[in-house]
Amino acid sequence: MSEFYKLEYIWLDGYQPVPNLRSKTKIVSSAPSSVADCPIWGFDGSSTQQAEGHDSDCMLHPVALYPDSSRRNAFLVMCEVHLPKEKGPHPSNTRAHIAEEDGGLWVGLEQEYFLMQDGRPLGFPEEGYPAPQGPYYTGVGYKNVGAIAREIVEEHMDLCHDAGINLEGINAEVAKGQWEFQIFAKNGKKIGDDMWVARYILLRLCEKYGVDVEWHCKPIRGDWNGSGMHCNFSTTKLREVGGKEYFEKLMAAFDKYKEEHIAAYGPDNHLRLTGLHETQSIDKFNYGVANRGASIRVPHSFVAGDAYKGYLEDRRPNSQADPYAIVARVLKTIETVG
């Protein structure tokens, strides 16, 4: 009997302001050795808000390939959406906005999220709230993390590593039912690909546990931390040259374009960026050494010896943001400084 292989084509739909992940399976007779072995495929864009019913064809152009250890003979294929007849990227294709020349960009994204069941975070009582924040961050034990949350996040970490995604760590977060994972990549498009696929893996994993993933930046109103996706970034110039003058010019550019950054950093961020819960207000920009309430946190290592070299952490992006849009905006601002 001939062997068959499953290629799970993954793409972003046209829903706004937050696209959804979509996927479908293509069966092929041989295992792909690279993304070049994955053929272009099509889908019905009228069902994903990416086309009209009278002209509904959209095209999936594979851009990244990952082994899928959750199924036999399977791969995950991240795709860009293109218009038919080789008319170029679809208007919903945010990946296409990331510059190919990225100045040696390295990015680490910290994805926070809530695990939800029956409409409330895991560990929340049926009515009311659990004990206040305090013991949950990096917490251990049933009363702090619940019954199945750790099983889910551990399995997700293993699946990401099996896929070749550089997931660097996980931890329970400040609110009960809230978790975080961190991914690092040395390319603007790759960090976006890896983060979207990691999100996909988590969503699909949670299906078997009867658990939902809540990406919204402030699903629990009141005195509870929201969810962010802090963006740690550096370029070759920041890592190897640096300098106080260049750093101050860069921060001035981030201040100048603060509204454009907020527009790219996810919806409903006004609910999270209030000036409380380790955030700066949404209408302000500041930076500070080791300041977790700043727009951009400057690590101690960055200013050590007055070198002003290394990486910076933009704390404004939220958990629901499109990583492609985050990276495109960061690069665009850096380019204005030269």
Cβ neighbours for 327, distance < 8 A, ≥ 6 positions apart: 98, 105, 107, 188, 189, 191, 192, 231
Classify residue 240: in a domain, yes or no. yes
Classify residue 159: in a domain, yes or no. yes
Q: What is the CATH number of the domain that holds 16?
A: 3.10.20.70
Q: What is the CA radius of gyration of the chain?
A: 21
Classify residue 321: in a domain, yes or no. yes
Residue 225's pLDDT is what? Answer: 86
Let me know: does 285 contact 275? Beta carbons within 8 Å.
no
β-pair type (57-67, 41-44):
antiparallel
Q: Indicate if 47 and 145 belong to the same structural domain.
A: no
Q: Indicate if 186 and 323 belong to the same structural domain.
A: yes
Classify residue 201: in a domain, yes or no. yes
Q: Each residue of 39-51: pLDDT tens digit?
A: 999 999 999 999 9
The ranges of the chain with pLDDT < 70 are: 1-2
Q: How far apart are CA 172 and CA 181, in angstroms?
A: 9
Q: Indicate if 219 and 311 belong to the same structural domain.
A: yes
The residue segments making up the domain with residue 28 are 5-93
Classify residue 173: in a domain, yes or no. yes
Q: Indicate if 86 and 150 belong to the same structural domain.
A: no
DSSP for 282-320, please give it: TT---EEET-TTSSEEEPHHHHGGG---S-EEE---BTT
Q: Which of 38, 66, 93 is the last residue of a domain?
A: 93
Q: Indicate if 35 and 71 belong to the same structural domain.
A: yes
Classify residue 100: in a domain, yes or no. no
Give the count of domains, the chain. Answer: 2
Q: Indicate if 177 and 256 belong to the same structural domain.
A: yes
Q: Indicate if 132 and 71 belong to the same structural domain.
A: no
Q: Indicate if 73 and 128 belong to the same structural domain.
A: no
Q: Indicate if 214 and 113 belong to the same structural domain.
A: yes
Residue 302's pLDDT is what? Answer: 96
Q: How far apart are CA 169 and CA 163, in angstroms?
A: 15
Q: Each residue of 182-228: pLDDT tens digit?
A: 999 999 999 999 999 999 999 999 999 999 999 999 998 888 889 99
% of the chain with per-residue pLDDT over 70: 99
Classify residue 99: in a domain, yes or no. no
Classify residue 302: in a domain, yes or no. yes
Q: Indicate if 72 and 214 belong to the same structural domain.
A: no
Q: Indicate if 55 and 118 belong to the same structural domain.
A: no
∠ CA 319-322-327 to the nearest 5 degrees? Answer: 105
Q: What is the CATH number of the domain that holds 160?
A: 3.30.590.10
Residue 114's pLDDT is what? Answer: 97
Residue 85's pLDDT is what? Answer: 87
Cβ neighbours for 69, distance < 8 A, ≥ 6 positions apart: 158, 159, 162, 163
User: Would you state the structure tokens that stand for residue 156, as one six-digit string?
Assistant: 């997700």
Whose CA is closest to 293, among 215, 225, 218?
Answer: 225
Q: Indicate if 83 and 115 belong to the same structural domain.
A: no
Helix (H) or strand (E) segment spanning residue 25:
strand 21-28
